[in-house]
Structure 1
Amino acid sequence: MQKIQKRKHHYVPRFYLNQFLDSRVQPPREPYLWVFDKQEEGDVFKRAPKNIGYETGFYDMKLIDGTTTTHVEDFFHKVIETPSSKILRKILDQQPITDEEKQKFAMFIFYSHARVPNYINFMNKFYEATKEGKSNEKQVIKDPEVEKMIKEAEIKDEVSTLEFMIELVKVFAPIIYNMNWQFLFAPNGYAFITSDNPVILNDPKQTTIYRPVVGWNNPNIQLTFPLSPSMCFLGTWTKKRNLYKVADIRFVRAVNFRTAFFATRYLFGSRPFYLKEEVLKLEALKSIK
């Protein structure tokens, strides 16, 4: 049987990366954004969105008959990315979205958190420990909140790690939907960056580093997701506030530092100096350690 041709599977969608293009680049030049590789620790460099934020065959699944399917990649493209790209455009243009669109965008936020290498690597350990009954192995799933959520999801034991991750949307998308949503603008002269792990859960009152599947019900939690250089999504459990608001400088700096700190490998930005500023902070943090 003929094998499928592996494709570039973008764990950070191209339409999302397109929001962080360097706006100074005009046709006929190919558009690009700026990138910093934490693994190589070199200088920032430019890349077209089609050439970054992907792994070949990242979502491929082997079937029982030995063939490979791209059903997961197809699911992300058709069911998640296609509608979400239109909803994101409405949000960036400050147009109201329907309740159905909010539900779909909550799914997009969850998958932007869950489809990336950081989450998949965690879920590999999580899932293997679950199958082997080692719930305390390296404290991977030793958490009552996590165990309760998994039971509520009613996920079958025989599913793969990727299927397991996809099924978790039944638990986490409703949580995101029920949070208080706010879209914050960066003030003039400032901009948000993003990364290969763009959705961050953080309690600004604690130093706890939350694992990918815990922390959601913490009353102080902040869920941040940069949507463009000029806008960041903020989900909280605090009282409702204005849907759109200009952020203060401290918020922009805090979000950018979190984004850089929790990036698995790549930072993305619309200008090189936005990335360099965060790289200097990371280097300073290393020197303290």
Structure 2
Amino acid sequence: MNLPIKQHIIPKTYLKQFTSDDKNIWLFQKDTKHFREQSINKVPIIKDFYTVTDEENDGKKLYDFEYFLANDIEPLYQLYIEQLQRGKLLSELEKNHFAFFVSSQKLRSVSMKDKIIKEIERAFKYGEAGEWFDKTSIEQFTQHFYEDGKEITYEEFLEKSEGNLDEIPLDISKDCFVQFLPEKMKDFAETLASQNWSYLRAPKGRCFITSDNPVILDNEIGDSTFPFKGGIFPLTTQLALNINSLEEKFRVVGAKELRKINQQIIRNFDRFVFSHNEGILRSNIKKNSRLMEVTKYV
């Protein structure tokens, strides 16, 4: 039995819309600064990114969340993108469904995993809520503190730490992140579905690019001159979702507006930027290379 050890953090069904042949995609890799064309079957993949280890069952690997994404969430993209490409707005029910895909794509990125794990660490040390690991999340996780293999109370933990909590290492496993995702994904999907969505069409001869962190919320837009209210999520080379917009409609954006959207893709990517066209990708990276120096998450 082939187990899904190699796991995509961006669905192939999504990346397919940013190819010219449904198979291969052009990418820029941040750490090597290399451009190359590669099969969407092979990028971006991280081994056991969503895998949980069952310590009570001889360390058995559990792939439930990977199967859930593949079977229940990722198919929503193709189902509704075809409707949007025909210029038909989503009904409230359809929007509620598609919001799960958008929510999952925001939460399953490398930078979000790093951010949430840091928030979990701070919550366990200080009981402080973060942007994503909030008070409700804290209550869902039982906190245990140990000394020499013996469980102690939180009060004893604080006393023994002598106030130096920042210096105390915590073993927060990736399993904690995966276990946190389903409920948070549901909550965030409900928030997204309650907002207005506009659909932005690329002007003739222009294209959207995307990345391995493609859902950019309004509080992550690092540009006071950004021409849209709300966040951005490129859906295809020709269509982008404007999250939390002023109204719900389709509209064609101008060339300058499209450049601003692509700038935010480059400013917020984790490791890869993608395009169907080598020239478009190289041009965007060259024009916006300065933004990579101020990327929010490295």
TM-score range, shorter chain: 0.7 to 0.9
Contact in 2 for aligned 1:200/1:225 (Cα 8 Å):
yes
The root-mean-square deviation of aligned C-alpha atoms, in Å, is 2.7
Match of 1:46 among 24, 37, 55: 37
Structure 1 or 2, whichever has the larger Rg, is: 2
Match of 1:87 among 77, 80, 96: 80
Q: In the alignment, does 2:48 pair up with 1:62?
A: no
> Does 10-19 or 52-61 show the bigger shift?
52-61
Aligned to 2:14: 16
Gap regions ≥5 residues in structure 1:
209-219
Match of 1:222 among 230, 235, 238: 230
> Does 179-188 or 169-178 show the bigger shift?
169-178
User: Aligned partners of 2:223, 2:202: CA distance in 1, in Å?
Assistant: 25
User: Aligned partners of 1:247, 1:273: CA distance in 2, in Å?
Assistant: 21
User: Aligned partners of 2:110, 2:220: CA distance in 1, in Å?
Assistant: 25
User: Aligned partners of 2:138, 2:115: CA distance in 1, in Å?
Assistant: 20
SS in 1 for 2:235: strand
Task: Label 1:6 to 1:78 Cα distance change in 2 as closer, same or farther (>3 A).
Answer: closer
User: Aligned partners of 1:166, 1:126: CA distance in 2, in Å?
Assistant: 17
1:285 Cα deviation (Å)?
4.8
User: Counterparts in 2 of 1:249-268, with a 5 A limit?
Assistant: 249-268=255-274
Match of 1:281 among 287, 293, 296: 287
1:134 Cα deviation (Å)?
5.6
Task: Label 1:268 to 1:124 Cα distance change in 2 as closer, same or farther (>3 A).
Answer: same
1:38 Cα deviation (Å)?
1.1
User: Aligned partners of 2:266, 2:24: CA distance in 1, in Å?
Assistant: 19
Contact in 2 for aligned 1:155/1:167 (Cα 8 Å):
no
Question: Which amino acid in 1 is paired with 2:33?
Answer: E
Task: Label 1:161 to 1:155 Cα distance change in 2 as closer, same or farther (>3 A).
Answer: farther
Gap regions ≥5 residues in structure 2:
143-174
Question: Which amino acid in 2 is paired with 1:151?
Answer: K
Task: Label 1:285 to 1:4 Cα distance change in 2 as closer, same or farther (>3 A).
Answer: closer
Question: Which amino acid in 2 is paired with 1:7?
Answer: I
1:104 Cα deviation (Å)?
1.3
Aligned to 2:275: 269
Question: Which amino acid in 2 is paired with 1:175?
Answer: T
Contact in 2 for aligned 1:155/1:164 (Cα 8 Å):
no
Question: Which amino acid in 1 is paired with 2:66?
Answer: E
Q: In the alignment, does 2:182 pair up with 1:166?
A: yes
Task: Label 1:228 to 1:286 Cα distance change in 2 as closer, same or farther (>3 A).
Answer: closer
What percentage of residue pairs aligned between the two structures are identical? 23
Task: Label 1:75 to 1:263 Cα distance change in 2 as closer, same or farther (>3 A).
Answer: same
User: Aligned partners of 2:222, 2:292: CA distance in 1, in Å?
Assistant: 20
SS in 2 for 1:168: helix
Match of 1:128 among 112, 121, 128: 121
Question: Which amino acid in 2 is paired with 1:233?
Answer: L
Aligned to 1:248: 254
Contact in 1 for aligned 2:197/2:245 (Cα 8 Å):
no
Question: Which amino acid in 1 is paired with 2:192?
Answer: I
Aligned to 2:201: 185
Q: In the alignment, does 2:23 pair up with 1:31?
A: yes
**Given the two structures, how large is their TM-score scaled by the length of structure 2?**
0.78
Contact in 1 for aligned 2:266/2:292 (Cα 8 Å):
no
User: Aligned partners of 1:285, 1:83: CA distance in 2, in Å?
Assistant: 32
Match of 2:141 among 141, 154, 157: 157
Task: Label 1:74 to 1:257 Cα distance change in 2 as closer, same or farther (>3 A).
Answer: same
**Given the two structures, how large is their TM-score scaled by the length of structure 1?**
0.80
1:39 Cα deviation (Å)?
1.0
1:110 Cα deviation (Å)?
1.0
